[in-house]
Amino acid sequence: MKQAVILAAGEGQRLRPFTVTRPKAMLSIAGKPILQHVVEAVAQNGIRQIVIIVGYKKEEIFDYLGAGDQFGVNITYVTQERQLGTAHALAQARDMVHDEFLVLPGDNLIDTGTIAQFVTVHPDAVLTKKVEKPSRYGVVAADGNSLLAIIEKPKETESNLVNTGIYAFGTDIFDLMDTRLDIPDVLNGMLEQKRPVTVMETDGTWLDVVYPWDIIKLNDAVLRHVPAKLGGTIETGAYVKGQVSIGQNTVIRANSYVLGPAVIGEHCDIGPGVCILPSTSIGNNVVISPFSVIENSMIGEDVHIGPASVIQDSVIDKGCVIKGHFTACSGEAELRINDEFHMVNIGAMLGTGCRLGSSVVAQPGAIAGNYSQIQALKLIGGRLPDRSYVV
């Protein structure tokens, strides 16, 4: 395989408020957008020519990845004006690909090992993985290494083998699409024509983010594989233990305690007396004031957290400014996403650019939309729309 097509045009509507300002593929996991994880996995398997299908909020992808020089790849962009399906998205790249190529979703987290063997397979092929809840995905029926069918989101399943959305194709795939809008439908059509499709299973990382709380689960999974790196300055009396990555020009002040796995970005000011507990990622240019505790959470870039705050199992998006004594403790909450109800253990989820006054308490499962403003001493719960003002 010399070329890859990455599908990154979708929004991720169930992930709001975090996808209001960016496409799903640009959600940050362990300090990097999901799409960057995919690009790096492809590059580390020797594929340098990449076509990315963009659509929703495509400028976010352009600005971040550019031409791909910093990742050692050459990126070409193609726009899918209307997000009609994965086959429709792939069809936009018809004039950009040659010979055999790999197709990957830009909004599913993978690592180098996930596709290490798959890049050598001959088309046509689909990569599969065993999961605990297969009914959320396209379930794969196979006879040995031969595909029999892909059944999308069945109510009852006889197999826990699912379609990862990673494929190996030749250019003749474009002639087989007909009017089909999704790649699994194209594959099922190929099977009806007695055209064989190979199935290969992976035991590598393949994680999908569907709901806002999935960000925390993926963050935890990825942090366990991030190598330790101690950049910046660690003052006397600060204690750093375990798998911790600290960026350049970051200061961990005296009497702070950092227990990995954790990632802290560049130009951060942590402490004194701050406690960073496992499975926490902190973006660049973040200030965490004295005596705060952060656990199993994702803190975006340019966030300021005031003193004596407690944040558990939470997602705080970029640009938030939180005054002192903020409390977002984890607990069981029932959350509604569209017409679905989910019971999850969660803290709070704050969208981009929120402003919180002193001593705000967020109930478990509280979701504050982007650019919300919450005055001091307020208790928030449920879902607040974008630009809410709580007085």
Confidence (pLDDT) at 308 = 96
HEC sequence for 218-280:
HHHHHHCCCCCEECCEECCCCEEECCEEECCCCEECCCCEEECCEEECCCCEECCCCEECCCE
Percent of the chain, pLDDT > 70? 100
Percent of the chain, pLDDT > 90? 56
Give the tokens for residue 81. 């004006």
Across 233-251, average pLDDT:
93
pLDDT digits (tens, 9 = 90+) for 114-129: 888 898 888 889 999 9
pTM as predicted: 0.87
Superfamily of domain 3-210: Spore Coat Polysaccharide Biosynthesis Protein SpsA; Chain A (3.90.550.10)
Contact (CB, 8 A) for 42 and 51:
no
User: How do beta strands 28-29 and 32-33 pair?
Assistant: antiparallel
In the predicted model, is pLDDT for residue 112 greater than 90? Answer: no
The mean predicted confidence, pLDDT, of the chain is 91
CATH architecture of 228-390: 3 Solenoid (2.160)
Residue 135's pLDDT band, with cuts at 50, 70 and 90, is confident
Residue 352's pLDDT band, with cuts at 50, 70 and 90, is very high
Residue 277's pLDDT band, with cuts at 50, 70 and 90, is very high
343 strand-pairing partners: 334
Biggest CA-to-CA distance, the chain = 70
Across 316-330, average pLDDT:
95
Q: In the chain, where are the structural domains located?
A: 3-210, 228-390
**Least confident range of 172-181, 263-272, 276-285:** 172-181
